Amino acid sequence: MTSDAATQERVYRAIKATLVRGEFAAGARLEISSLAKRYGASQTPVREVLGRLVGEGLVEHREEGGYRFCLLDAERLRDLYFWNAQHLLAALHVVREPVVVRALEPLRTRTAAAPIDQVALIAQIFQAIGDATGNAEFSERIRNANERLQGFRMAEIELFADTTLETSRLLALGRFNVQKNVRRKIMYYHRRRIEHAAQIIAAITS
């Protein structure tokens, strides 16, 4: 790997990690010069990285020029929630019940008091379901959805008072019909957000 390629990869990983950690609110302007200074790089690799992140759906071009952390409208957010739900349900369809239990069991003892920790735990639950398929496409698509939904999940916590309880219920697998129980809870989780997409966007933009 050339030094230019290595720099671009370093900057890519750093900016992506910053976005996924929630340091920028959805819709926040991303200044190329500020990012270049922050990560010790010239503006060229930063610009190329932001273009790469546009392709991943994490960043978007601003109409007046430049870039911002992706902010979907309510209709697009509904579509993303629906898309994520369908991938998770499809993953559960191809995974045997004991594998689902093994994948989710380690997460049942996790505590998530802070909002950022609650968001991380939801991402881990959904990623565990995707990874349990053993199919790289499921894993990658669900990982990308987790990254794109990070900022919106932070807003969900402000809107819904019971997200901690909701997450606990997702991990309450029961003794029988585990897959059916998890599917039902995933459907409820996403249906609730689809119905409140406009309010979630309003919470971010207000």
Q: What is the mean pLDDT of each run of 10 residues along the chain (206 residues)?
A: 80 86 79 91 92 89 82 91 97 94 92 83 96 96 91 88 90 85 95 96 84
Rounded to an integer, what distance in angstroms lies between the CA atom of residue 160 and that of residue 163?
A: 6
What pLDDT does residue 64 have?
Answer: 78
Please report the pLDDT score of residue 77 as a whole number. Answer: 94
Give me the amino acid identity at 52. R
DSSP secondary-structure letter at 139? H
pLDDT at 196: 97
- pLDDT at position 116 is 81
**CA 48 from centre of chain:** 22
| pTM for the predicted model, two decimal places | 0.83
Sign of CA dihedral 147, 149, 152, 156: negative
Cα within 13 Å of Cα(129), Cβ side = 27
